Amino acid sequence: MADVSTGQVYNFPLGGEDNMYLDLHYRLNSRLVVAFWQDGGRCMREDMEWAGQTFKRHGERDIGPEEVCFQMQQQ
């Protein structure tokens, strides 16, 4: 994640092999980022709020079988 006005780059808390098929949902006018990924045949979700330099994480939760993640990608 980067601030386009300053060029400052920030770490994003999810990604790589720990969060397979990571899909991010966000709006440009909101501080909320909703992440979906697959883990062991399950679809996981985590809501995160941008707090200026870091994300405030609201905890991951299992929202169903991995097919749910595929449905979310089509929205």
Domain boundaries, the chain: 16-73
In angstroms, what is the C-alpha Rg of the chain? 13
Q: How are the residues of the chain apportioned to helix, strand and coil, as percentages rounded to the nearest 5?
A: 15, 50, 35
- The per-residue pLDDT for 3 is 84
Q: Is residue 66 exposed (0-12), middle (13-18) or buried (19+ Cβ within 10 Å)?
A: middle
d(CA 62, CA 46): 9
- The per-residue pLDDT for 20 is 87
43 neighbors 63 (Cβ within 8 angstroms)? yes
- The per-residue pLDDT for 26 is 94
- The per-residue pLDDT for 40 is 94
The segments of the chain whose pLDDT lies below 50 read: none
- The per-residue pLDDT for 13 is 95
